[in-house]
Structure formats: C-alpha cells, structure tokens
A and B are shown apart, each in its own frame.
Chain A
Amino acid sequence: GDSVTQMEGPVTLSEEAFLTINCTYTATGYPSLFWYVQYPGEGLQLLLKATKADDKGSNKGFEATYRKETTSFHLEKGSVQVSDSAVYFCALDEKLTFGTGTRLTIIP
C-alpha cells in the first residue's frame, strides 16, 4: 500500500540556517503530495502541495519539488526563523497517508 517515509527528528537548528527535511513515498499512480505543519497545541495547516511530477510547491519561504524519479518531496527553506519551530508532516493523496512527523526547533 501507499506509504510515506519521513526524516526522523527532532531537528534543532540555529536561526538563519538552511533546512532540509527529507520525505520519500511509495504509491501506485501519481499521487498529490503535501507538507503540513502543526504548531504547538494546534491542528495541522497545509504548508504547500504539488500535484504532478516536477511541480514545485512553495509558501512562506518553504519549497518542495515533486521528484518522480526519486519518489521524493523534500522540504527546504533557505533561512529558518524561530517562528518556524513546529512539527512538519509529509503526506500523500486524498486519503492522506502521513509520515510520522519531524519536530523542528529553531534556536535564536
């Protein structure tokens, strides 16, 4: 069945550092791919998405490119801020199959 493998956390970075959170998937067909973010005590918010190969989703300085050849959808940000501290989930398709989440902490 469909599955998502996500980089284990927690990840701790200094402010303004470069961020990569890896995500790879296994699926039949051509699923849509998503990154969701969960701030402390809140529900999930859609961060970005991509619906077909080579699409790049972007939002709030975050980017992820749908790579069919490597079945990956890695999340990147060039310069993280303290406010980016949260748990990030990679997911695929309508019946969202989620990765286990990566807890990111940014220290000033």
Chain B
Amino acid sequence: NAGVMQNPRHLVRRRGQEARLRCSPMKGHSHVYWYRQLPEEGLKFMVYLQKENIIDESGMPKERFSAEFPKEGPSILRIQQVVRGDSAAYFCASSPLDGSTDTQYFGPGTRLTVL
C-alpha cells in the first residue's frame, strides 16, 4: 500500500507566477489535509477536504490560495501570484473515510521556493 504521494517534491517559481501542488492520498483514504511549514517553524493547518468538499479552510489565507479534491484525481493546492513569503514546505496528509482512526499519514512534502 503506497503512502501519501506529493509532487513535485521541489518547485521553483518567480514572483507573480502560479504554483500547483498535488497530493494523492493513501488508498482507501478520503480525507485530505494541507499544512504549511515556514522555515524554522512548526506546521500550520491550512485546509481539510473530503472528496469534492471543503470541510474546513480556516487556515487558508483569504487571497491567492485555493484547494480542491475532485472526485477523480489528486488534491490540488493552488497558489496564485506567488510572493517570496509563500516559500515554505507544504505537506499533505490523509486519513481513512470511515473515521476508524484520527491518525493522519503525511506525504514527503513539496518545497516551494519563490525567487
């Protein structure tokens, strides 16, 4: 059973460009969470999604950031018009649909660098 997969692992963008980060949850998992880790800081919750639904986006910046988890395909975290302050590691985690565990399983992360 493959773990949570994220791609790309490293992403470089210039200011003003768009960044698209992908997350494929573990097989059988239908809950996806996105976190951001700024340099030398802990992880901060951004958004919690189930298939085709955003359940909690209380940690998402109000502008430029969006997330989706379509019926088919990976979850996407999209950052429009990136700025230097968006440089961080973005982690995705997944957990099972049936709520059998509150444990989240993390992907390896995407390290975004904005030049």
A94 to B108, CA, bound (A): 19
B103-A46 in contact (CB<8A): yes
Taking CB as reference atom, which chain B residue is nearest A45?
B106
**B interface SS class:** strand
Give every chain A residue within 8 A of B6 (Cβ-Cβ).
43
A residues near B107, Cβ cutoff 8 Å = 43
- Whether A43 and B109, one on each chain, are in contact in the complex, defined by CB atoms closer than 8 angstroms, is yes
Write out the residue numbers on chain A whose beta carbons fall within 8 Å of the beta carbon of B103.
34, 46, 49
CB distance from B74 to the nearest CB of A (A): 16
Q: CB < 8 Å: which of B4, B44, B102 contacts A32?
A: B102
Interface residues of A in 21-54 (CB under 8 A from B): 32, 34, 36, 42-46, 49, 51
Please count how many residues in chain A sit with their CB below 8 Å of the partner chain's CB atoms. 21
Measured CA separation A20–B4 after assembly (Å): 30
- Which positions in B face A, CB cutoff 8 Å? 4, 6, 33, 35, 41-45, 48, 56, 91, 93, 95, 102-109
Could you write out 7 A-B pairs with CB less than 8 Å apart? A43-B4, A46-B105, A49-B103, A94-B104, A95-B56, A100-B42, A101-B41
